[in-house]
Amino acid sequence: MKDFLFYTLIAVLLVLFQIFVFNQIHLFGFGCIFIYVLFIISAPLSIKPAPLVVMGFLLGLSVDIFSNNYGTNAAATTLVAYIRPRTIRLFFSNSKLENSVKFFSDFTPDYYKYLITIIAIHHFTVFMLEAFTFSLILLVLLKTAISTVSTAIFIFFIQSLFFKKK
- Measured in degrees and rounded to the nearest 5, phi and psi for residue 26 equal -130, 110
What stretch of H or E contains 27?
strand 26-27
Task: Find how far residue 113's CA is from the centre of its chain.
Answer: 13
The CA angle 113-37-130, to the nearest 5 degrees, is 100
pLDDT at 22: 85
What stretch of H or E contains 154?
helix 137-162
Q: How far apart are CA 61 and CA 113, in angstroms?
A: 26
The total number of structural domains in the chain stands at 1
pLDDT at 64: 94
pLDDT of the chain along its 166 residues, tens only? 677 788 889 899 999 999 998 888 877 777 889 999 999 998 888 889 999 999 999 999 999 999 888 899 999 999 999 999 999 989 887 766 666 554 555 678 888 999 999 999 999 999 999 998 889 999 999 999 999 999 999 998 888 887 655 4
pLDDT at 100: 55
pLDDT at 165: 53
20-24's contacts with Cβ under 8 Å and 24+ in sequence apart are 22/154, 23/67
pLDDT at 44: 85
pLDDT at 107: 74
Please answer whether residues 88 and 125 qualify as being in contact, where contact means their C-beta atoms are separated by less than 8 angstroms: no
The residue range of the domain holding 144 is 2-162
